[in-house]
C-alpha cells in the first residue's frame, strides 16, 4: 500500500510540473502541454543561425507561432511572459508574418533537454520564441524571450500605461526614443512604475539613469554593462551597435532625459 501511494504521488508530481504554455487571446484561452505542441502537424525541425540566447547555431523542434494565434490581426498587441518575470511587448504583425523574419515557438523535448544558457544556469526551455531570418524584420534580442510561460493579447502600451508617454510637444528624437525603449528596455524595466516586467529596476523612480550617469558613462553602460559594474550575477546584456545603432542609442537617451522631467510616481513611491 505504501509503495502504491508513493507511485501515485510521484505520478502526480510529474503531472503537476509538466511543461505547459498558456495563450490568452480575446477570442479564447488555451493551455498547451509540450507533448500536445510537439504532436501538431505543423511542428517541424528548424535550424536557427546565431541563436540569441545560446550565441551559436541551434536546432529545435518548433511550430510557426502564427499557428497558435488564430484570430489575431496585424494591428493587435501581445505580451510574452517568461518564468523569471521578463515580459516582452510585441506587436502582432511580425509574429503573424510568413515572409522575411518568421517567429517560431521552439519546444523542448523531455528526452532531449536543451543545454544550460551558462554554467550554473538553466536552459532556455521549456518554450522559446526564436526567429528565422531575423535581420529581415530588424528583430532585436529582447524579442527572443526564453523560458516562456504565457502569451497574452493586451491593449497597446499607450492605452495601458499612459505615464510612459512623452509630452505632446516632445521632439521627434524623444518620440523615436520611446519606440526604442519599448523594443529594447521595457521587457526588463518599468518606468514611472508602469510596465509588467518583474525583472529589472524602474528607470525613472526614484531616479532616472540620466540623473546619476554622465552621458558618456551611460552610453558605455548600455553598450557593455560589465565594463562599469562587474559582478557574477549581473543579467543585463550589452547592446552592440549591430543591435542598437548609435542614432537609436541617442534616441533612448533623449527619451530617458525627457522622462526625468515627467516623474509620475504611483502609490508605492509616494
pLDDT of residue 205: 94
pLDDT of residue 8: 40
pLDDT of residue 270: 52
pLDDT of residue 195: 85
Q: pLDDT tier at 267 (50, 70, 90 boundaries)?
A: low
Mean pLDDT of the chain, nearest integer: 89
pLDDT at 224 over 60: yes
Class for the domain spanning 160-269: mainly beta
Q: Over range 176-190, report the average pLDDT.
A: 90
pLDDT of residue 142: 87
CB-CB contact of 48 with 62 (8 Å): no
Q: In what order do the strands lie in the sheet with 127-132?
A: 44-48, 58-64, 102-107, 127-132
What CA–CA distance (Å, rounded) separates 49 from 51?
Answer: 6
What CA–CA distance (Å, rounded) separates 88 from 80?
Answer: 5
User: Structural domain boundaries of the chain?
Assistant: 20-155, 160-269
pLDDT in tens, 13-49: 443 357 999 999 999 999 999 999 999 999 999 999 9
Q: What angle do CA 174, 212, 173 make, to 5 degrees?
A: 10
What CA–CA distance (Å, rounded) separates 117 from 61?
Answer: 18
What CA–CA distance (Å, rounded) separates 159 from 143?
Answer: 21
Q: Over range 261-268, report the average pLDDT.
A: 79
As a whole-number percent, the residues of the chain with pLDDT over 90 amount to 70
Residue at grid coordinates 527619451: 255
pLDDT of residue 15: 37
pLDDT of residue 5: 39
pLDDT of residue 1: 41
pLDDT in tens, 109-156: 999 999 999 888 899 999 999 999 999 988 988 899 999 999 999 998
Residues in the chain: 270
Class for the domain spanning 20-155: alpha beta
pLDDT in tens, 70-86: 999 999 999 999 998 88
Amino acid at each position: 500500500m505504501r509503495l502504491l501511494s508513493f507511485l501515485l504521488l510521484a505520478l502526480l508530481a510529474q503531472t503537476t510540473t509538466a511543461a505547459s504554455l498558456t495563450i490568452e487571446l480575446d477570442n479564447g484561452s488555451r493551455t498547451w502541454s509540450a507533448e500536445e505542441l510537439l504532436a501538431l502537424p505543423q511542428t517541424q525541425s528548424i535550424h536557427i543561425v546565431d541563436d540569441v540566447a545560446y550565441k551559436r547555431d541551434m536546432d529545435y523542434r518548433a511550430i510557426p507561432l502564427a499557428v497558435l494565434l488564430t484570430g489575431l490581426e496585424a494591428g493587435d498587441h501581445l505580451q510574452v511572459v517568461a518564468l523569471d518575470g521578463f515580459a516582452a511587448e510585441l506587436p502582432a504583425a511580425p509574429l503573424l508574418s510568413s515572409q522575411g523574419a518568421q517567429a517560431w515557438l521552439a519546444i523542448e523535448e523531455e528526452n532531449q533537454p536543451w543545454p544550460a544558457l551558462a554554467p550554473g544556469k538553466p536552459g532556455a526551455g521549456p518554450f522559446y520564441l526564436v526567429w528565422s531570418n531575423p535581420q529581415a524584420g530588424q528583430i532585436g534580442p529582447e524579442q527572443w524571450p526564453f523560458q516562456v510561460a504565457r502569451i497574452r493579447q493586451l491593449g497597446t502600451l499607450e492605452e495601458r500605461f499612459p505615464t510612459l508617454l512623452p509630452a505632446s510637444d516632445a521632439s521627434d528624437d524623444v518620440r523615436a526614443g520611446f519606440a526604442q525603449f519599448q523594443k529594447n528596455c521595457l521587457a526588463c524595466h518599468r518606468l514611472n512604475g508602469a510596465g509588467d516586467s518583474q525583472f529589472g529596476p524602474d528607470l525613472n523612480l526614484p531616479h532616472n539613469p540620466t540623473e546619476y550617469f554622465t552621458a558618456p558613462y551611460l552610453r558605455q553602460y548600455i553598450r557593455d554593462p560589465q565594463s562599469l559594474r562587474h559582478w557574477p550575477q549581473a543579467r543585463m546584456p550589452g547592446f552592440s551597435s549591430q543591435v542598437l545603432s548609435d542614432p537609436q542609442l541617442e534616441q533612448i537617451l533623449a527619451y530617458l532625459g525627457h522622462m526625468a522631467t515627467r516623474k509620475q510616481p504611483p502609490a508605492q513611491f509616494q
